[in-house]
C-alpha cells in the first residue's frame, strides 16, 4: 500500500494536535481529496471531529488494545479508496502505555505505518529554545522521521521571524505557522472535549474555522509532498469477514498467549472461577415481543446499537464485525426513541455521557421498560461504561433501566488507564479464560462494582474483579476493541439468533 500519509504529533498534550489534524483534514478535503481520518489511542471524541472534517468515519489505531500487528491492517482497511490519510497522535510523541516502553505511543504507530511525522509545537513563551526542543524530539529515536514542524500559538510577525531563524539550524522545515484563534477553540468538560454530536452547528463552524486557519497558515503543497514520501506498507487491509473466518478466534488460548502471558490465576469471585452459564432458553412471551416466528435462525438477527448524543463512544469495527457475523445492525437514540427497533434480538450500548443526559434518559420510561424486559428475558446485551450506568437501578438518583441491582453516582476522581483483563466466566461475549485488553475512562462510581458473576477479572495494573454477567447481560466499565478478538462479535450474534 502506497497511500500518502502524515502523523500529526506534539511534544505534549495541549499543543494543538486536534486543531491542526482536524484542520488539515478539512483543508485537504476542501481541495477535493478523499481524506482518511485516524486517531492514535482509545479516544472516541476526536474521531467525531475528524469525521465532520472528512465525511468519513474516524478510526482509532491503538497498539495496546489491538496489538501492534493490527495497526497497519486496520489503517489500510479504513483508508481504502482514499487519496490521503491523516493520523492524529496521542499525548506527547513518545508517550504510551505506562511502564510499557513505546507501546501504544504515537512514535510506535508512526513507525508501524512508515509515516513521516509533523510536530505541532506550542511556541508561546519561547523563541530560540524551540530549536533545542525540536532537535531533541527529532534525534531521540532515529526510527521516527520528523519531516516538518507546525508552530502554533505564535504571537506576532516578529515572534514568527525569531522562531523561523532558530529552526533554520535544526534542519527541520517549518511547514506552517498558526496564530491564536478563538473561533477554533473547542469547549471541554470532565472527560475532555465536548463531542460533535452534542454541539451541532457549533461543531460544524469550529471545524470549518480549523480548516480555514490551517489553509491560510500552512504550506499544503509541502505537506502533501511529505505525505507522498511515506514508505510502502506490506500486506493487505484488515477485513471483518476474514477476521471472523478462523474458528479459533473464539477460543481463549490464542488471546491468552498473545495478550498477558504469565498473568497467573484469576481474582477470586463469589461464584467461583467458572461463573454461571448464560446460554438460556427463554419464555415465549419475550420471543413473541421480539417478533420470532420459528425462522429466527435463518434470518439476520437485529442488533440494536445505542447512539445519539448520550452514547457517542463506539469503534466502527464493532458494527462491521457484527454485520460480517450475520447481524442486522440498527442504531437507535435512547434520548428520542421510545421503543427499540422492530425485531430487536440483541442490544449493544457503548460509552458516552449518560450523566449529562440523565434527566432525559430517565424520562424516557417506555424505552427503559422495554430494555429491562429485553434483558430480563435473556436477550444478549453488551454494555460498556455509559451502557453499564444506563442498565443500573439509578444514576445520581435518577431512575435508569433497573436491569442491574447497582447504583451509580458521579465522582471527583478520574479513573483512567489501560487494563489487562480475563473473562471470569462464560458470557454472551466470551468463554471463560478469554484474555482481552481494555481501557477505563470515567468519573463515576458504581455500588457494588461487581456482581456475583463479574464480567472481568482485571489482572493488570491491579488485581480485582469488575462488572456484571447475568442471564444474557455483559456489562462493564471496560472499553474493548473487538478487532483484537473478533470471536466476540460472532459469539454475540449467535446468541442473538438462538436466545
- Note whether 360 and 336 are within 8 A (CB): no
Query: What size, in residues, is the chain?
Result: 499
Chain centre to alpha carbon of residue 380: 22
Report helix, strand or coil for 472. Answer: coil
Residues 6 or more apart in contact with residue 392 via CB below 8 angstroms: 400, 401, 402, 403, 404, 406, 407, 408, 446
Task: Give the span between the Cα atoms of 196 and 26, in whole angstroms.
Answer: 15
Question: For residues 346-355, b (16+ Cβ closer than 10 Å) or e, as one string?
Answer: bbbbbbbbbb
Q: Which residue is associated with the grid cell 490521503? A: 84
Q: Among residues 66, 82, 218, 385, which one is catalytic?
A: 385
Cis bond before residue 461 (omega within 30° of 0): yes
- How is 329-395 classified by DSSP, letter by letter? EEEE-TTT-SSPPTTEEEEEE-BS-TTTSHHHHHH-HHHHHHHHHHHHTT--EEEETHHHHHHSSEE
Cell numbers for 371: 430494555
Active site residue 66: no
Task: Give the span between the Cα atoms of 499 and 17, in whole angstroms.
Answer: 46
The closest alpha carbon to 75, from 3, 19, 8, belongs to: 3
Task: Give the span between the Cα atoms of 151 and 163, in whole angstroms.
Answer: 8
The two beta strands, 473-476 and 468-470, are antiparallel
Which residues are marked as active site? 385
Amino acid at each position: 500500500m502506497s497511500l500518502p500519509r502524515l502523523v500529526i504529533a506534539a511534544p505534549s498534550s495541549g499543543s494543538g494536535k486536534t486543531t491542526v489534524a482536524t484542520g488539515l483534514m478539512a483543508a485537504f478535503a476542501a481541495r477535493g481529496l478523499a481524506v482518511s481520518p485516524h486517531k492514535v489511542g482509545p479516544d472516541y471524541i476526536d474521531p467525531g471531529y475528524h469525521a465532520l472534517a472528512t465525511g468519513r468515519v474516524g478510526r482509532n489505531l491503538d497498539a495496546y488494545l489491538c496489538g501492534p500487528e493490527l495497526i497497519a491492517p486496520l489503517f489500510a482497511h479504513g483508508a481504502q479508496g482514499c487519496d490521503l490519510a491523516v493520523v492524529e497522535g496521542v499525548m506527547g510523541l513518545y508517550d504510551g502505555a505506562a511502564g510499557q516502553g513505546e507501546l501504544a505511543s504515537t512514535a510506535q504507530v508512526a513507525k508501524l505505518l512508515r509515516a513521516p511525522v509533523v510536530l505541532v509545537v506550542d511556541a508561546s513563551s519561547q523563541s530560540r529554545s524551540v530549536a533545542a526542543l525540536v532537535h531533541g524530539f527529532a534525534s531521540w529515536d532515529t526510527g521516527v522521521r520528523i519531516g516538518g514542524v507546525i508552530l502554533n500559538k505564535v504571537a506576532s510577525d516578529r515572534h514568527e521571524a525569531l522562531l523561523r531563524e532558530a529552526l533554520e539550524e535544526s534542519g527541520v522545515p517549518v511547514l506552517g505557522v498558526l496564530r491564536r484563534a478563538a473561533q477554533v477553540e473547542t469547549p471541554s468538560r470532565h472527560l475532555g472535549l465536548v463531542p460533535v454530536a452534542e454541539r451541532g452547528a457549533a461543531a460544524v463552524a469550529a471545524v470549518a474555522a480549523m480548516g480555514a486557519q490551517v489553509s491560510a497558515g500552512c504550506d499544503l503543497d509541502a505537506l502533501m509532498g511529505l505525505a507522498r514520501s511515506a514508505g510502502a506498507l506490506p500486506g493487505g487491509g484488515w477485513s471483518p469477514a476474514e477476521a471472523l473466518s478462523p474458528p479459533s478466534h473464539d477460543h481463549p488460548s490464542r488471546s491468552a498467549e498473545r495478550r498477558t502471558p504469565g498473568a497467573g490465576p484469576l481474582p477470586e469471585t463469589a461464584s467461583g472461577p467458572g461463573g454461571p452459564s448464560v446460554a438460556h432458553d427463554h419464555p415465549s412471551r419475550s420471543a413473541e415481543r421480539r417478533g420470532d416466528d420459528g425462522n429466527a435462525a435463518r434470518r439476520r438477527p437485529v442488533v440494536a446499537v445505542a447512539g445519539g448524543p448520550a452514547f457517542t463512544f463506539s469503534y466502527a469495527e464493532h458494527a462491521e464485525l457484527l454485520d460480517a457475523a450475520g447481524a442486522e445492525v440498527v442504531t437507535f437514540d435512547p434520548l428520542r426513541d421510545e421503543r427499540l427497533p422492530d425485531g430487536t434480538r440483541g442490544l449493544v450500548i457503548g460509552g458516552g455521557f449518560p450523566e449529562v443526559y440523565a434527566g432525559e434518559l430517565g424520562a424516557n420510561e417506555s424505552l427503559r421498560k422495554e430494555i429491562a424486559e429485553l434483558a430480563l428475558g435473556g436477550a444478549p446485551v453488551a454494555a460498556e461504561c455509559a451502557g453499564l450506568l444506563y442498565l443500573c437501578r439509578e444514576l445520581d438518583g435518577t431512575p435508569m433501566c433497573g436491569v442491574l441491582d447497582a447504583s451509580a453516582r458521579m465522582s471527583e476522581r478520574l479513573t483512567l488507564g489501560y487494563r489487562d483483563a480475563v473473562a471470569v466466566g462464560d458470557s454472551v461475549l466470551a468463554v471463560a479464560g478469554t484474555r482481552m485488553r481494555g481501557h477505563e475512562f470515567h468519573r463515576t462510581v458504581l455500588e457494588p462494582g461487581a456482581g456475583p458473576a463479574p464480567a472481568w477479572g482485571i489482572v493488570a495494573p491491579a488485581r480485582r474483579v469488575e462488572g456484571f454477567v447475568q442471564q444474557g447481560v455483559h456489562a462493564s466499565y471496560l472499553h474493548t476493541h473487538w478487532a483484537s478478538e473478533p470471536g466476540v462479535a460472532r459469539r454475540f450474534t449467535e446468541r442473538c439468533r438462538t436466545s
